Structures are given as C-alpha cells and as structure tokens.
Structure 1
Amino acid sequence: MIGLAATLAAVAGAAGPAAADTGDSGPRGAAHSKLTLTYQAKVVHLTCRPAGGDHPRPVQACATLRDIDGNPSRLKPGDAFCMLLYAPVTARVQGTWEGRSVRWQQTYGNSCEMARATGVLFQF
C-alpha cells in the first residue's frame, strides 16, 4: 500500500506544470464536480472537469468556482449599479464540488443585485 502511494505521488509530481487546471479538465485524479444552479423558475446543470452541462458559459463558471474553491459564499460582488427596486430573487447551488457536498442559497433584493454578486454563475 505504501509503495502504491509513493508511486502515485511520484507520478503526480512528475506531471509538474502540465497538470495545471484549465477549467475544462483538471489534474489527473481531480474529482468530478456536478452542480445544479437555480433561480426563479430557471435551472441549469454544470459539470466541471470537464466543463459542460447546459450552463451557457461552463468554462467561465467552472473557473469562477475553482477560484472560490466551490464555495459561493466566497464570491466577490462586482461594481455594477442596480436600481433600488425590491423584487427578491433566491439563487441556489447544490451538488458536489470536487467530491464535497455543496448546498448554498442566498436571497437578493432583485435580479440585478444577484447578477452583480454572482457574476457568470447565474448568467443564464
């Protein structure tokens, strides 16, 4: 068992920079990610490693999730201006990110505020 672990570590180390994550595929052994994103009556499925599903921008969405380690609570809002119109929208993400369970929900004052806060993730 120790010999197998050492062999795997050597193979992973030999991969070096060529194993960099591009959003479409990941390093060998990286866990597959499969998420469902919803708001209002809209639903999309997103897979990462490889990027796919019916999200209109899966590569960019996977890159965003990779930057925040799959935790939507870590998203940094953009700087767009939104009207002060109260029409609440609840965004949800659930599924798995690199083998970990993800369940996230946030209600925003309107769809503009949601788009500002979540970027490409909820652009569908």
Structure 2
Amino acid sequence: MRVRSVLTALCAAVCAAVLTPPAAVGSVTVNEYTLTLSGFDHTWSRAIRLRCPAGPEGHYHPRGEQACADLAGVRGNLDRMRPSPTRCAPEYGRLVATLSGSYAGRSVGWNRAFRDECTLYTATHAVFRF
C-alpha cells in the first residue's frame, strides 16, 4: 500500500512539472536582435545589439526600453508596425535597415531600404534610433 501512495505522489509531481507552463516556473523569454544600418551604396554601416528585457548591464541601444516595447507590440515582426503620422521633408540619403534575431524562441529577420532617416524612423519608431 505504501509503494502505491509513493508512486502516485511521484507521478503527480512529474505531471505537474511537465505540464506547468514556463512562465509559471519563473522563466523569462529573452528576445535578442542585431540591428544594422548601412548606406545604400555600402560606404558606411553601424550595428547594435538589442536584448529584451535588458541584461544586468542595461541596454546598449540608447532607446532600448522603447525599442523593446515597439518590437513587443508587433511580436518581433516589423512588417506589422504602423508608421507614425510624422511627415517627412524630401531628403535623400538612402539607407538600408536590417534586423535579425529571435522573438519568443523563433527566428526573425527583416530588411528594407529607405529614402532617408526620417522615413526610417516613421516606419520603425524607436527600433533603429541608435
């Protein structure tokens, strides 16, 4: 009889551990991105790493908290981001923006060319403001 109750308790503990969602056991999903900006003619480039939430060292991205919130709002898919209503004066400094990384455990990637920084910021909010 004692063996039976021990096995029942053991089975219940194993089932609870297996069926408990990760958020309930205290794990935090970390989303990591590499953001790159480059001139359309490839004469310059700059890149930064964005980790959401930030690690103990904080963000390397100057607007990291807002960039993370912007990406969380579209689940890491910049194609879903709605442009801000800012109107841009015609400036021509063509550039290419690239995002690669992971969101909620899945790989994400995005690449677009923009007429200038204003149109980039309008389309991507704080994500590429570094």
Q: Which TM-score bucket, shorter chain as reference?
A: 0.7 to 0.9
Across the aligned residues of Structure 1 and Structure 2, the Cα RMSD in angstroms comes to 2.1
Residue identity opposite 2:30 in structure 1: H
8 A contact 1:91–1:105 mirrored in 2: yes
Residues 101-116 of structure 1 mapped to structure 2, 5 A cutoff: 101-116=107-122
> Is 2:85 the counterpart of 1:79?
yes
Rg larger in structure: 2
Residues 45 and 55, structure 1, Cα contact 8 Å, conserved in 2: yes
Q: How many angstroms apart in 1 are the aligned matches of 2:74 and 2:91?
A: 29
Question: How far off its partner does 1:83 sit?
Answer: 2.0
TM-score normalized with structure 2 length: 0.73
In 2, the alpha carbon distance for the partners of 1:53 and 1:95 equals 16
Q: Specify the SS of the correspondent of 2:86.
A: coil
Runs of 4+ in 1 over 6 A off after TM superposition: none
Match in the other structure for 2:27: 29
**Comparing 81-90 with 106-115, which one deviates more in the overlay?**
81-90
Identical-pair percentage: 31
Q: Which residue of 1 aligns with 2:15?
A: 2
Where structure 2 has 5 or more consecutive residues not aligned to the other structure, the ranges are 1-13, 39-44
Gaps of 5+ in 1: 16-27
Q: Secondary structure at the match of 2:122?
A: helix
Across the two proteins, how many residue pairs are aligned to each other?
A: 108
